[in-house]
Structure 1
Amino acid sequence: MIKSLLYFLWAGLFEIGGGYLIWLWLREGKPFWWGILGAIALAVYGAIATLQPANFGRVYAAYGGVFIIMAMLWGWKVDGTIPDRYDLIGASLALVSVLIIMFMPRS
């Protein structure tokens, strides 16, 4: 379980970080190489996701919830947008969904 959560964490950092670098390049006028680094980070994200033990559909469904949580944290810590109570409720529901999808016993 810990290994799976770490894979989600690393995948999220590479996906959000890569997307953010491309955002800064295209929207904030940063140099072209920021976009290249962003694309590389996004490719690394795709590779990290393959390390999960579950099947593709389950991993990507659960990762959607992890992405929600990490994007909220990124917005708060990097962009300075403080989550409100509805953001926190939504992120909490996403976390519960991730735990159900990935870790509930199956027959």
Structure 2
Amino acid sequence: MLVARSIALFVVAALCEIGGAWLVWQGVREHRGLLWVGAGVLALGAYGFVATLQPDAHFGRILAAYGGVFVAGSLAWAAVADGYRPDRWDVTGAAICLAGMAIIMYMPRGR
């Protein structure tokens, strides 16, 4: 159950961070205005909060593992929101990153 909760929190964190960065990008680079930027800043703040809800208490481990989720999530976001089509190397790289995340977070440790 802890693994499922952790994965769900990683997904929510990715939606907040990637979505927030995308909103800021849209507001500034696509000239959509300060409301978009403000919404992005709020979403980025929510990302920081969601990360603290992970069951593991080690900040460095959480952030390192989240990097893999961020890579895969960014490619997925680009495909859905911007019509980007990841090639086989994008997908391979994202799979490697997710495997790294799983190793960092969920492999047994002698404590």
Q: TM-score, normalised by structure 2?
A: 0.95
Q: CA deviation at 1:92?
A: 0.7
State the distance in 2 between where 1:12 and 1:104 align. 22
- Alpha-carbon distance in 2 for matches of 1:20, 1:46: 16
Shift of 1:62: 0.3
**1:67 match:** 70
Which blocks of at least 5 consecutive residues in structure 2 are unaligned?
A: none
Q: CA RMSD in A?
A: 0.5
**Residue 80 of structure 1 aligns to which amino acid in structure 2?**
G
Gaps of 5+ in 1: none
1:95 corresponds to: 98
Matching residue of 1:34: 36
Runs of 4+, deviation exceeding 4 Å: none
Q: Which residue of the partner structure matches residue 7 of structure 2?
A: 5
Tell me, in whole angstroms, the C-alpha distance in 1 between the residues paired with 2:26 and 2:11: 22
Q: Letter of the 1:34 partner, please give it.
A: W
Q: Distance in 1 between matches of 2:33 and 2:102?
A: 39
For 1:80 and 1:92, the matched residues in 2 are separated by: 20
Which residue, out of 101, 105, 109, partners 1:106? 109
Shift of 1:8: 0.2
Please give the alpha-carbon distance, in whole angstroms, between the structure 1 residues aligned to 2:68 and 2:98.
6
Partners of 1:98 and 1:32 in 2: how far apart? 35
Give CA-to-partner distance per residue, 1:48-81, whole Å, 9 cap, x none. Answer: 0000122100000000000000001001111111
3-state SS of the aligned residue for 1:78? helix
In 2: Cα distance, 1:105 partner to 1:31 partner: 47
Amino acid at match of 2:83: G
Alpha-carbon distance in structure 2 between the residues aligned to 1:24 and 1:49? 24
2:53 aligned with 1:51: yes
Letter in 1 for 2:21: G
